[in-house]
Amino acid sequence: MSAVACRVIGASCRRGDREVLRDVSLDVEHGRVLALVGPNGAGKSSLLGLLAADLHPSAGRVEILGRDAQSWRPRDLAVRRSVLLQANEVSFAFSVADVVEMGRSPWLGRSDAEEDQRAIENAVERADIRHLLDRPFTALSGGEKARASLARVLAQDAEVVLLDEPTAALDLRHQEEVMVVARELADRGRAVVVVLHDLSVAAAYADRVAVVDAGRLVAHGRPHEVLTPERVEATYGIAVHVVRTPDFHLSVIPQRGSSRPPQFPDNVSP
């Protein structure tokens, strides 16, 4: 049985005059990747905000490493949980190297220079950004900013890692590499929560999938238990096929009507 890293207990959350989450209970465990999925505006990022202690529940309770989330001092919390947000922006023209090094700032006085450098080097390598280190962060493309920001999070070296749509701006190769990193973190005992839109990616890399719809947690379990055609259609309003790929993962594919069979080029097999 994996130890619980974070716990959401009957939590609701309001943003302005709108209730974005209602009566959500969920455990996040060490050694597992938890994927949060659901339609746009369902409340996934708000749930991640509760887990990060960046948002306060309007009802219920959130615990991080056995303590009430709001009882942590910011710096103490920052060495235990790291957060990658959707918006990857900085206010000034810091170099990418500077941005990655910011991930070590919570450890000031708690780690030595050798440990800091080792964490930074590992983060740079895993995010594949060595060729970007001297460039201004503000001059990067969206995908490059996402990878540099991921390196900052990895350099932070926290035991709870929260990633909000980390693959959204990335090409196919880097999407897969980010999820491999998430998987490796969990395999080393970290608790990893990832907000995803691609259900096939969630099925391939997550140990557990939590489906959020209209502010409620409507399903939670192993991918094959949760990502059924019936559940996906009820949540997203679209019929899908759920098939097993040649490498034994689940793939979720929308049912697409066609008035004629597809035409393939001579060098492409159907």
pLDDT digits (tens, 9 = 90+) for 233-263: 999 999 999 999 998 899 999 998 765 666 6
d(CA 173, CA 249): 18
pLDDT digits (tens, 9 = 90+) for 190-233: 999 999 999 999 999 999 999 999 999 999 999 999 999 999 99
Please give the full DSSP string across 251-268, using - where no structure is assigned: EEEE----SSPPP--TTS
Asked whether residue 37 carries a pLDDT value surpassing 70, the answer given is yes
| The pLDDT of residue 268 | 58
Banded model confidence at residue 270, pLDDT cuts 50, 70, 90: low
- Show the beta-strand stretches assigned E in 16-152: 18-29, 33-37, 59-64, 67-68, 81-84
Mean pLDDT of the chain: 93
| The pLDDT of residue 169 | 86
d(CA 101, CA 115): 12
pLDDT digits (tens, 9 = 90+) for 7-23: 999 999 999 899 999 99
CA dihedral 91, 172, 46, 9 (to 10 degrees): -130
CB-based contact 101:154 (threshold 8 Å) = no
| The pLDDT of residue 44 | 97
pLDDT digits (tens, 9 = 90+) for 101-143: 999 999 999 999 999 999 999 999 999 999 999 999 999 999 9
Handedness of CA 139, 115, 205, 196 (dihedral sign): negative
Q: Which helix (H) or strand (E) holds 164?
A: strand 160-164
Asked whether residue 1 carries a pLDDT value surpassing 70, the answer given is no
- pTM for the model stands at 0.92
Phi then psi for residue 215, to 5 deg, are 80, 5
CB-based contact 209:226 (threshold 8 Å) = yes
| The pLDDT of residue 184 | 97
Domains of the chain: 4-224 (3.40.50.300)
| The pLDDT of residue 235 | 97
pLDDT digits (tens, 9 = 90+) for 55-109: 999 999 999 999 999 999 999 999 999 999 987 677 678 999 999 999 999 999 9
Percent of the chain beyond pLDDT 70?
A: 94
| The pLDDT of residue 93 | 81
Residue type, 32: R
